[in-house]
Amino acid sequence: MKNITFLAIGMILFIFAQACQNNHPKNYNDTTKVDSAGQKFIKTAIEGGLTEIKASGLAITNSNNQQVIGLAKMMINDHTNADSALKKMEISKLADSTDTINAAHQQMIGALSSQKGAAFDKAYLAMMVADHQAAFDLFTNAGKSTDADVDQFAAATLPTIKMHLDSAKAILAALK
């Protein structure tokens, strides 16, 4: 009887241990997880988009230049759409889902918020040029990920980033 009890307890512990090791959601599939390069791309792209949206919101209230305001509205629309797609990818690829604006960008936004008029326009546009150049490089190099969805999203979004970069450069050049 003792042996049967120990055997039953052993089987229960074995089954429990197996269940604890397989604690993924029912729809979990290891093949959907994005690699570290893809995960870094998604996180960096979302963070950049959040930054552009916040800075562009300031442009709508702090600028008097209709070209800058138009660019800001376009930025908000395009980055909101891109971030929505990236967040869906982030969830489907089981990537870390804590999306924030980094400290360096928070400082830039803080500095922008205290400026108005032409000084604001130049600072905002300089930020847009620098950030979109970095985004262009990020999206161009997204091919380092082995994930086809990441590569496809980057390739499809790259022309919009290039247009944002060119627009910000042209408006900035016209201000000087």
77-98: average pLDDT: 85
pLDDT tier, 1 (very low <50, low <70, confident <90, very high otherwise): low
Place of tokens 């089987």: 11
**Residue 143 lies in domain:** 36-175
Percent of the chain with pLDDT over 90: 57
Per-residue model confidence as pLDDT tens digits over 127-170: 999 999 999 999 998 866 778 889 999 999 999 999 999 999 99
Give a yes or no: residue 20 inside a domain.
Answer: no
Percent of the chain with pLDDT over 70: 78
CA 4 – CA 6 distance, rounded (Å): 5
- Residue 138: which of 126, 127, 154 has the closest Cα? 154
CA 131 – CA 121 distance, rounded (Å): 15
Per-residue model confidence as pLDDT tens digits over 17-63: 444 444 444 444 444 687 888 888 888 999 999 999 999 999 999 99
Provide the token pair at 26: 């029912």
Give a yes or no: residue 67 inside a domain.
Answer: yes
Per-residue model confidence as pLDDT tens digits over 90-122: 888 776 667 788 888 999 999 999 999 999 999
CA 172 – CA 176 distance, rounded (Å): 7
Q: Are 56 and 1 in contact (CB under 8 A)?
A: no
Give a yes or no: residue 134 inside a domain.
Answer: yes
Give a yes or no: residue 115 inside a domain.
Answer: yes
The CATH code of the domain that includes 133 is: 1.20.1260.10
- Residue 53: which of 176, 164, 169 has the closest Cα? 164
> How many domains, the chain?
1
Contacts of 165 (CB under 8 A, 6+ apart): 128, 129, 132, 133, 135, 136
Give a yes or no: residue 52 inside a domain.
Answer: yes
What pTM was computed for the model?
0.78
